[in-house]
A and B are shown apart, each in its own frame.
Chain A
Amino acid sequence: MFRLFFTPGWFNGFDLLFDSIGLVVALLIAAYSWRIYSFNKENKFIYFSLAFLLVSVSLAFKIFTSGVLYYFPVRETVAQVLGPVAGSRLKYSALFYRAGFFFQMACMLLAWLMIFLVSQKSRARLTKFYEVTQIGLFMYLLLVVSVISNFDYKIFYLTSSVLLSLIVLNYYKNFITTRKKSALKVMAGFLFILAGNLISIFLFLQNGYYVAGQVLTLLGFLILLQTYRGVMRR
């Protein structure tokens, strides 16, 4: 059976629960950003909404693929569905998992790239031709990274960490400018997600790091949720 990396058996299912919480938080932020776009028609809000939508799609792919891997009855059902396509012995089951992980990684990396670009606040971004072509190149490279990460998961977490570091830096600058508690919370949220990704790079040393990575990522999303709630209470 295809596995990108091995996780502690007792933790199977908890990570899916954590990812579901992250998915809901990402959807809430995406929905509110979409609402602001419908109000003032500024492009940056639709890109921000799309970025968080991609985060939720990525987490949905992760939940589905990992769920199929963890639980035997689900695997059986998927095998029956894929049977006519892949043959009775399901020789291509690895292809299914690889496709699942590819979409998970590609969506997540593209989401981080979009959040990084939107949080940069450059007026020329996403309008000028040379900027758009550069973004196109970044997207291509991220897709390549996603394919390669299917053979070595470390590359995904490393690329994700680099992008998240740049996002954290942008949000640090934002906090310095605005001096708002909510801006600090958003920076802290992304900092926790970054820490989760950094720890996950070292999964090859010990699979317990997966638990630490997941818990830190969950904390990051919970801080983002708290910021969102704070905004809504106003």
Chain B
Amino acid sequence: MAVRRSRLELVFDILLAIQNKGGRIKPTHLMYKSNLSHKLLNGYLEELLQRELVILEEEPAKKNKRPLKAVRITDKGLSFLAEFRRMREFTDAFGL
């Protein structure tokens, strides 16, 4: 059975999915990449926006279509990712 991801690991997975897509991703893609439901992802995105780890950007609209939204990772989000990697390495090394 797969181990349940902690809240912090979910945040890490979301930010990692954005980073792997070059720092910018569409919300629907993010939902698939981070393996979360729409409702859960929205909850987490709201928190990430509040903490300024990501920002929402609007892509220019194509003909007769609504403008698309994209999620971009901030510098603060990138440094959080680096810090989380260090913590995970420490946790793995010391068997915590």
- By a beta-carbon cutoff of 8 Å, the part of chain A in contact with chain B is 29, 32-33, 36, 39-40, 44-45, 48, 118-119, 121, 170-171, 173-174, 178, 180, 182-183, 185-186, 227-228, 230-232, 234
Contact = CB atoms under 8 A, between A and B. Distances in A.
Contacts of A227: 93
Contacts of B83: 39
B8 A180 contact: no
B6 interface: yes
B86 A232 contact: yes
Given A182-B89, A231-B86, A234-B86, A39 B94 contact: no
Interface of B: 6-8, 82-83, 85-87, 89-96
B86 to A, nearest CB: 5
Contact of B93 (A44, A45, A170, A185): A185
A186 B6 contact: no
Given A231-B86, A234-B86, A36 B91 contact: yes
B86 A40 contact: no
B31 to A, nearest CB: 24
Given A182-B93, A234-B85, 7 more contacts: A32-B90, A33-B94, A36-B87, A39-B83, A44-B96, A48-B96, A173-B95
Contacts of B85: 234
B75 to A, nearest CB: 18
B95 A186 contact: yes
B5 to A, nearest CB: 12
B92 A118 contact: no
A151 to B, nearest CB: 35
